[in-house]
């Protein structure tokens, strides 16, 4: 099965299921040292079928952590912009909410990047992204902590997709 076919199958499954008990996943994230020790946390605004990132963002702001939301600048460039409750977000051509305005935050000053994806391998740390390569390019340069959060439909022991040389691993997968 191709990466594209796997993406479609998992997204359809995510859209069809009602996920209960997510508080355990949030609690797992909030109890981790990577979370506790990071002052700057990068995270996407989730799509409707994805694991909801809004509670994570609210908790970070309550804990006086700085939130960084990605913004695509061009076909090959994504930056992170510091955001708060007053930041204006606009839906991008990808359907993801991004900050309006703002300036790029230095990648290696970020303590934790919560990396989105379609599928994750718990044994190898591999992830199947959305196909744009934005996070692979970022992670190649990033030396800090990475965590991905997956719902049951997204979790595999080993990758069922072809892992390419340019694909970057995440350090921790919470599910």
Strands annotated E in the chain:
40-42, 66-74, 77-83, 89-91, 97-99, 112-114, 119-121, 127-128, 145-149, 155-156, 172-174
Identify the segments of the chain with pLDDT beneath 70: 18-21
CATH code that applies to domain 3-174: 3.40.50.10420
Separation CA 103–CA 105 (nearest Å): 6
* pTM summary value: 0.90
Distances (CA, A) of 86 to 1, 9, 82, 96: 43, 36, 11, 18
Residue 21: its pLDDT value, please? 65
| Domain spans, the chain | 3-174
* pLDDT tens track for 76-116: 899 999 999 899 999 998 889 999 988 999 999 999 999 99
Ramachandran area for residue 11 (φ above 0: left; ψ -120 to 50: alpha; else beta): alpha
Residue 12: its pLDDT value, please? 82
């Amino acid at each position: 099965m191709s990466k594209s076919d796997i993406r479609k199958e998992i997204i359809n499954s995510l859209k069809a299921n009602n996920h209960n008990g997510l508080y355990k996943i949030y609690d797992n994230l909030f109890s981790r040292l990577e979370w506790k020790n990071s002052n700057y946390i990068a995270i996407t605004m989730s799509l409707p079928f994805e694991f909801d990132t809004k509670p994570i963002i609210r908790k970070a702001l309550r804990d006086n952590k700085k939130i960084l939301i990605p913004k695509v600048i061009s076909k090959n460039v994504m930056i992170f912009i510091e955001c708060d409750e007053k930041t204006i977000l606009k839906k991008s051509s990808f359907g993801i909410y991004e900050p309006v305005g703002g300036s790029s935050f230095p990648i290696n000053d970020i303590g934790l990047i919560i990396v989105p994806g379609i599928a994750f391998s718990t044994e190898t740390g591999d992830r199947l992204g959305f196909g744009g390569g934005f996070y692979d390019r970022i992670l190649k340069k990033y030396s800090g902590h990475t965590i991905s959060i997956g719902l049951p439909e997204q979790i595999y022991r080993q990758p069922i997709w072809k892992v390419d040389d340019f694909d970057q691993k995440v350090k921790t997968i919470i599910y």
